[in-house]
């Protein structure tokens, strides 16, 4: 019985043995205080017990040994040395035992539990020369400074104030006075876009600090454009792995004549583009962080509630989440991103449902009264009659303004669609551009400014397509000359791009198309009674209604100044205030666009009759450059 007990004790002292390994060597070999070689027995050939005892090495005194060693990991453990616990006397004091435990902990912590060889991190793509951070910052600041100077110069004079700018600023003014729009909200656009303008209005003090209401919005768009340019640089640098490619994309986007022209205007497309780029950057910089994906979903939701057509970018950004999430997180990350995006967007749908304005009148049995509806408005937008030649006119405008960006970016999109087989980041860039093209080609009415969301992705696709050439260069012998040649090419393209586009940007810096509009507002302020009914273009609305505005000054507001479309189409104005009689109109301030619509549109019969009974009181601007504004006084007899 005692012999069996001794045998069991000897077996317990032996380390665990694996049948598929002959011998495990600890890292570093035998050193003083280190670990020793632990022999492991194999099945064949069988050795005699005597020979095994002669070949067996002394046991490791440190108590550390390796259980399992594989090519990429191993299991390392410790055991007490023989007699270590038993050598301590039972009469040891408590202090001695604590001291012994402390020494044991220090010994275990001193042992190396990770002995894998150090692996050098090698990128799958050969990177270019990385410039000093200060140099990179200075180059970015140079381009942004030039773009900011060109954008800000003559900002309040060119282009002329547009109907869209006036409508969005009027909506922002209405938000500050407790309404979604100055008139009945018809769900033409979600209201979050002009909510942001209203917040900016409050922060800056309104038109009193910038001359008029539209100037307030243009300053906001100037800052959002600057932020969008920075986000595009960060996104391009991530996707291309090249700071020089990102610098080229930044230059193309910031100094493009299309960007310089449309980024001056107060457009919901520009506001939504900023949030879209922020969402994209949060996705690709997330490193599979779920919180970043949630923030990206919130940013995309704000973009959609700023301009409804941005909902078309959801599939492309879902693909971006799938790319940037780790494989075991992909499904959960994609679902989370989609959930938060739809939760924000569906809040707008819930708002319409709670107001009883989700469905058009007559769809529900108890809903018979006329009212605006969300679904009805969306259906009207998608079922608008096709305007012949309207898309071709916008196409010609884009090509004449910046053929390099528009045509080159579109071609690069198809290159990246094919190259997406080998590089999925290129496919992501192509899908983002294609999402905008779906809206442009699928909509019956396309305005030139609808290209705004496409501009950053055209620049992104151009540099990613050019990066194919860069990778071909880098596949050759590695050297500083290859990197310098690539960077030199980028700078040559930048200089050529700037020089080519300078003639097209000249009107931005010299023309003053907005001056006749300001003169017309001043004339109304000086010559018209505040109680008069004045039919105006939307760009005059905020200044005539806001106290201390351009058209009001220190006098009373023109509470009866009405936008011409609402005067003709809104029952609250047509029936209650005008009572369907042209004699209740006192003045009309008409530009070329209003003149055309009032003369040809059947819905403007009331305004057309008033115009035929009016006399010309003042004229501003010139008909040759399209800036003419005429003010008529309606004769009641």
| Residues 195 and 330 grouped into a single domain | yes
Note if the pTM is more than 0.95: no
Q: CA-to-CA distance for 561 and 587, rounded, in angstroms? A: 9
| Residues 165 and 75 grouped into a single domain | no
Residue pair 146/259 in contact by the 8 Å Cβ criterion: no
- Examine residue 330 and state whether it is found in any structural domain, yes or no: yes
Classify residue 115 by burial, with Cβ atoms within 10 Å: 0-12, 13-18, 19+: middle
| Residues 346 and 288 grouped into a single domain | yes
- Examine residue 455 and state whether it is found in any structural domain, yes or no: no
| Residues 549 and 485 grouped into a single domain | no
| Residues 200 and 278 grouped into a single domain | yes
Grouping H, G, I as helix, E, B as strand and the rest as coil, residue 447 is: coil
Percent of the chain with pLDDT over 70: 73
| Residues 492 and 527 grouped into a single domain | no
| Residues 65 and 156 grouped into a single domain | no
- Examine residue 120 and state whether it is found in any structural domain, yes or no: no
- Examine residue 449 and state whether it is found in any structural domain, yes or no: no
pLDDT band for 467, please (50, 70, 90 cuts).
Answer: confident
| Residues 235 and 159 grouped into a single domain | yes
Per-residue pLDDT reduced to its tens digit, 534-560: 999 999 999 999 876 665 666 678 999
Which of 451, 484, 510 delimits the end of a domain? Answer: 510
Grouping H, G, I as helix, E, B as strand and the rest as coil, residue 188 is: coil
| Residues 486 and 551 grouped into a single domain | no
- Examine residue 286 and state whether it is found in any structural domain, yes or no: yes
- Examine residue 442 and state whether it is found in any structural domain, yes or no: no
For CA atoms 570, 574, 578, 579, the dihedral sign is negative
Q: CA-to-CA distance for 172 and 217, rounded, in angstroms? A: 10
| Residues 162 and 295 grouped into a single domain | yes
Has residue 231 got a pLDDT over 60? yes
Per-residue pLDDT reduced to its tens digit, 442-461: 887 889 999 999 999 999 99
Per-residue pLDDT reduced to its tens digit, 55-78: 444 444 555 566 676 665 666 665
Residue pair 183/572 in contact by the 8 Å Cβ criterion: yes
Q: How many domains does the chain have?
A: 3
Tokens 């960077």 correspond to what residue? 487
- Examine residue 280 and state whether it is found in any structural domain, yes or no: yes
| Residues 626 and 540 grouped into a single domain | yes
> What is the span of the domain harbouring residue 325?
146-363+468-510
Q: Which residues pair with 75 in a beta bridge?
A: 68
Which of 59, 84, 109 delimits the end of a domain? Answer: 84
Which of 510, 537, 572 delimits the end of a domain? Answer: 510
- Examine residue 373 and state whether it is found in any structural domain, yes or no: no
Tokens 């209201």 correspond to what residue? 191
Residue pair 254/152 in contact by the 8 Å Cβ criterion: no
Residue 115: the pLDDT is 44
Task: Write the DSSP string, 100-144.
Answer: HHHHHHHHHHHS-S--PPPPP---SS---PPPPHHHHHHHHHHHH
Q: CA-to-CA distance for 83 and 87, rounded, in angstroms? A: 5
Q: CA-to-CA distance for 170 and 180, rounded, in angstroms? A: 10
| Residues 492 and 547 grouped into a single domain | no
């Amino acid at each position: 019985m005692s012999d069996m007990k001794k045998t069991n004790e000897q077996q317990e002292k032996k380390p665990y043995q694996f049948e598929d390994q002959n011998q495990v060597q600890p890292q570093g070999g035998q050193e003083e205080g280190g670990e020793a070689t632990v022999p492991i027995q194999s099945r064949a050939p069988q050795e005699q017990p005597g020979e095994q005892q002669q070949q067996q090495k002394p046991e490791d005194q440190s108590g550390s040994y390796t259980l399992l060693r594989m090519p990429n990991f191993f299991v390392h453990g410790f055991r007490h040395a023989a007699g270590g616990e038993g050598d301590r006397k039972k009469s040891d004091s408590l202090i001695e035992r604590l001291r012994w435990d402390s020494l044991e902990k220090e010994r275990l912590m001193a042992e190396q539990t990770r002995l894998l060889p150090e692996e050098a991190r090698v990128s799958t793509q050969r990177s270019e020369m990385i410039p000093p951070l200060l140099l990179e910052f200075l180059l970015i600041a140079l381009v942004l400074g030039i773009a900011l100077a060109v954008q800000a110069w003559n900002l309040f004079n060119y282009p002329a104030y547009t109907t869209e700018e006036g409508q969005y600023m009027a909506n922002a003014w209405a938000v500050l006075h407790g309404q979604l729009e100055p008139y009945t909200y018809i769900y033409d656009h979600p209201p979050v876009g002009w909510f942001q303008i209203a917040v900016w209005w409050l922060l800056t003090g309104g038109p009193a600090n910038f001359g008029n209401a539209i100037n307030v919005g243009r300053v906001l768009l100037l800052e959002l454009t600057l932020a969008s340019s920075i986000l595009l640089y960060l996104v391009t640098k991530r996707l291309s792995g090249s700071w020089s490619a990102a610098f080229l994309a930044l230059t193309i986007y910031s100094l493009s004549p299309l960007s310089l022209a449309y980024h001056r205007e107060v457009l919901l497309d520009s506001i939504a583009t900023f949030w879209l780029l922020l969402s994209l950057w949060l996705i690709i910089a997330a490193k599979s962080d779920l919180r970043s994906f949630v923030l990206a979903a919130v940013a995309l939701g704000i973009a959609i509630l700023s301009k409804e057509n941005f909902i078309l970018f959801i599939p492309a950004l879902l693909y971006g989440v799938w790319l940037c999430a780790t494989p075991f997180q992909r499904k959960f990350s994609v679902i989370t991103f989609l959930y938060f995006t739809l939760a924000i967007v569906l809040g707008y749908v819930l708002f319409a449902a709670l107001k009883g304005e989700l469905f058009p009148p007559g769809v529900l049995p108890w809903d018979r009264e006329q009212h605006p509806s969300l679904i009805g408005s969306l259906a009207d937008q998608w079922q608008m009659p096709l305007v012949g030649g309207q898309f071709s006119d916008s196409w010609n405008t884009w090509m004449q303004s910046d053929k390099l960006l528009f045509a080159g970016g579109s071609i690069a999109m198809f290159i990246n669609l094919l190259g997406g087989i080998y590089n999925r980041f290129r496919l992501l860039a192509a899908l983002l551009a294609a999402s905008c093209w779906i809206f442009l080609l699928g909509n019956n009415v396309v305005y030139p400014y609808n290209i705004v969301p496409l501009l950053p992705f055209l620049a992104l696709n151009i540099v990613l397509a050019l990066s194919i050439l860069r990778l071909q260069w880098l596949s050759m012998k590695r050297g500083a000359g290859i990197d310098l040649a690539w960077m030199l090419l980028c700078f040559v393209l930048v200089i050529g791009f700037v020089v080519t586009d300078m003639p097209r940007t000249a009107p931005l810096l010299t023309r003053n198309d907005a001056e006749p509009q300001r003169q017309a507002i001043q004339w109304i302020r000086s010559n018209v009674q505040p109680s008069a009914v004045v039919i105006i273009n939307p760009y005059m609305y905020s200044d005539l209604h806001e106290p201390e505005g351009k058209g009001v000054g220190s006098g009373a507001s023109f509470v009866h100044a009405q936008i011409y479309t609402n005067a003709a189409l809104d029952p609250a104005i047509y029936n209650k205030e005008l009572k369907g009689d042209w004699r209740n109109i006192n003045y009309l301030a008409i530009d070329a666009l209003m003149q055309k619509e009032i003369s040809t549109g059947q819905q403007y019969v009331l305004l057309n009759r008033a115009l035929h009974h009016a006399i010309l009181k003042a004229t501003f601007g010139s008909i040759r450059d399209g800036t003419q504004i005429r003010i008529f006084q309606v004769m009641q007899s």
